Every structure is written in C-alpha cells, then in structure tokens.
Structure 1
Amino acid sequence: MENRSKTANTIKIENCISIEEHVNELSTLLIQVVEDGASIGFLPPLNRSDANQYWENVLNPGVILFLAKMNNEIAGTVQLHLCQKQNGGHRAEIAKLMTHPNYRRKGIGRLLMEKAQETAIKMGRTLLVLDTREGDPSNLLYSSLGFIQGGRIPNYARSENGQLDATIIYYKNIM
C-alpha cells in the first residue's frame, strides 16, 4: 500500500483543453493500447493517420478529456461525455479509458475514473454509464469503483481474430 501511494503522488491528472499539442503522443497511446488488445472501437493494426484523425476530432461539445501524466509523458486518458439531450442532463458516459501498457498497475485508471466522477458531480450529473468488453480486466476496476452491472449484450464488438464479443453495461448513481 505504501508503494502505491508514493507512485500515485507522481501521477498528474489534468483536463485537456487543446488537443493539438498532444495529438502525436495520444496517437501513440491509442496505437499501443489497441495493439495490446484493448476493445475501444479500433482493431489492430491501427495506422497513425487514423489515430491522429480520431484525436483531432475528439473534443466536441459535451466531451471532457482527462490526461494522466507520469514522468512528463501521457500515461493514460479517459473521456467524460456529458449527455446533451434534454432528457439526459443528469447523466454522463465514461468512454475510452486507456492506460499505456508501460504504466499499468500503478493506479492510473482508478485516478482517471475518480477525476471523471468528481467532474461529473461538479457538473450536476447524478448517473454515470459505461460499457466494456466482457472478461477484460477493466470489469474488475469498474466493479471496485462501485459500478453496477446493468446488462450484457452478446456479439457486440468484433475482436482482432474476428470473434464477436459481448459487452457489459455498467451504471453508477453518484449523488
């Protein structure tokens, strides 16, 4: 426990307001996590131009991007999507939690999730939702953070090998 708190002190979580200065590093992160098997909407091999295009278009109204930095490098990201519908002003979605393979098991994912939740609360949101591939390690993280499994959708996303995997829908009341 003592080692984790020392490590956590070196992790800085910040809100990314301008993407331009980070596109190359974010694209490298995206390519790395996709190559490592993450199910975040992309399949390997992911080319740099597709990764760059994704990041250049990620900051839309209602999207907040958080960066985790360690040793002055981007070690992870998460997005908070604030629902823009009239009937959804109370909810937000967690999207694309990524931790660079070189920085895993250091509490980065947890810190990013906590920052996203804290921001959602400050913005008056009372419900968080997310989905993740069944069986991925992230399921354990979400459960440990108090997210409740709301359902399972079979054959939701295609994996690199062509297999169709289920996704698990999670939710958490935060107020």
Structure 2
Amino acid sequence: MVERYGRQVEFDQDYYRERYADVGGTGASPFGHFLLFGNAEGRYPNAIEEIRSLVDEDYYLEINPDVADDGQDPVEHYWTRGAFEKRNPNPYFDTAYYLKSNESIISSGMNPLLHYAMWGMSAGLNPSPWFDEAYYRAENGDVVSGHPIALWHFLKLGAAEHRSPLRQFNSEYY
C-alpha cells in the first residue's frame, strides 16, 4: 500500500514495470523507484489510478444516472463494467469509437482507456473523433511535455485554457 492524494492505494509491481520500461535500467525495484522518484514524477502505482486520472467523475455520473442512483464510485464502475458496456469516461474518450478502431482490444479483455494510456496514444490512435493526439501535442508542446498523456492535459487544463483539441475546432470561439 502507498499513500496517494490522501488515500491508501495498492502498488502493482507488474503494472509499474510494464508501464514504465525505463525503470528496468535503474537497478531499483519498481516499488523502490516509485517511493524514491515515481510518485514525485506523477507516475501511477497501479492501473486504476491511471484510469482515475482520465475519468471525469461528474460527467460520468451525469450521463450514467443508474451509476449515480446506485451510489457507485464512477471510476470503479468504469474500470469493472462501464468500459465493457461502451460507456464513456469523459467527453473526449469515446469507448465505442476506440474499440471499433482497434478491435483487437475487445478480444484482449483490456480496459480500452488503459490501452489508450499505455499504448494507443504513442501508436497515434485517437480516443475519439473530437480529440487528435498528434495535433494537440504539436500545438501544445510547451505544456504536454510535463505529462505523457496529452488527453490528460486537455481534460485537466487545456479545455479551461481554450486550447483546441483538434485542427477543425477553434475553442476560442466557445
């Protein structure tokens, strides 16, 4: 267990080793690396914490009133069921679109949002027709360099700063 933002969370060595390949060359154990460097660098201790950073909880509960009515945690719901029911974790990740564009994910049983965060974005896959990963990185290189997931930057900061999620959309007009 590690503390993250005032909560106790599980540390998953297999996830950390796979997610952060650069740790293998440091000589440190994944857990040791996380304690010494990873947490301060904004690295995630497990997959669900990475998912948590990309789920807009208010949005998810608003578009999924059944989850809200049942008092379920929106992140846990998306992680365990929502993704496989093709529900969307935020306005810019379209689960059905992403799965249709990458059908092998369905047979793998992997959460599509985690797939995007770990491999899809670096492979140039877009999370929806409303967000262009390559465009956002090219236009906002000054800010996305601090976080490996451009979609994370857009959700947490970029939209409020009126940064455009794709070439065909100028957010300054909205």
Q: What TM-score do the two structures reach when normalised by structure 1?
A: 0.28
Of structures 1 and 2, the one with the larger relative CO (CA 8 A, separation 6+) is 1
Highest Rg: 1 or 2?
A: 2
